[in-house]
Structure 1
Amino acid sequence: MKFSHSFRVSAEDIDVQSHVNNVAFVRWIQNVAVAHWFSVTTEETREKFTWIVMRQEIDYKKQAFENDRVTIETWAGEPTRISWERFTEIKRGEDCWSKPEAFGV
């Protein structure tokens, strides 16, 4: 099940090169992953289980700028015995800026 969140890029996300800093992308990915987790789990489940990121890979396809409207979609891949993939797309409209992939346990 895909989960999405939309927002506008804030001034705090902009670096000295006048575009979104890569740290902001990582923060956005983390925030949407946590929001997704809370949307599909109960409090009881969250008390028993948690997840951590083992590895994250991000391909930056386009730059993002202040006031751009961003939509982030995320979904979990098929789980293995001890891990799973998390997929994310960061978009402006239908224009995909980035396709991060994370592996968690």
Structure 2
Amino acid sequence: MARAPLQLREDREIFTVPLAILPEHIDANGHVNNVVYVGWLQEVGTAHWNARFDEADRAKWSWVALRHEIDYLRALQPDATVVARTWVGDPQGPRFNRYVRIEDGEGRLCAQGVSEWCLVDAATLRPQRIPATMLPTFEAR
């Protein structure tokens, strides 16, 4: 059973990424294949991180996906315009939940996902508590 529609958080930056539907994304049923959405969750989260943190931070820290959960609500057709809106939840030690709404060009919710990410030291890949200095970057501006 699908969860209730994800609501944007007013206290978080909502990062928006346009998504492209490529011919190889279309399955035998004529719409975007479910597997593509997992890739989009990762792509959107990575784009947000890369846009907000400099090269030094990205060299020091990395993220490992622990879990993805997706609700498919409306099929996306090959000619659709698509945008993803993402934000992070509250940190829990080394973990953040990242929320993603995938909408069509008319603003209709087509899919939504929650991914659990773990912050790791890029050199050792060992989990690291999310530093308090990182949190303001994800807050609403």
Structure 2 equivalent of residue 86 of structure 1: 98
Structure 1 equivalent of residue 59 of structure 2: 47
Gaps of 5+ in 2: 1-12, 119-141
Find the residue that maps to 2:18 and give its secondary structure: strand
TM-score (norm 2): 0.71
Is 1:71 equivalent to 2:108 in the alignment? no
TM-score (norm 1): 0.94
The answer to whether the 8 Å contact 2:69/2:115 transfers is yes
CA RMSD of aligned residues (A): 1.1
The answer to whether the 8 Å contact 1:54/1:103 transfers is yes
Structure 2 equivalent of residue 98 of structure 1: 111
Aligned residues: 105
Larger Rg: 2
Identity within the alignment, %: 30
The higher relative CO (CA closer than 8 Å, separation ≥ 6) is in: 1
Against the structure 1 CA distance between its residues 13 and 83, is the aligned structure 2 distance closer, same or farther, given a 3 Å change threshold? Answer: same
Q: 1:82, CA displacement in angstroms? A: 1.7
The answer to whether the 8 Å contact 1:8/1:66 transfers is no
1:10-21, aligned counterparts within 5 Å?
10-21=22-33
Gaps of 5+ in 1: none
Q: 1:7, CA displacement in angstroms? A: 3.6
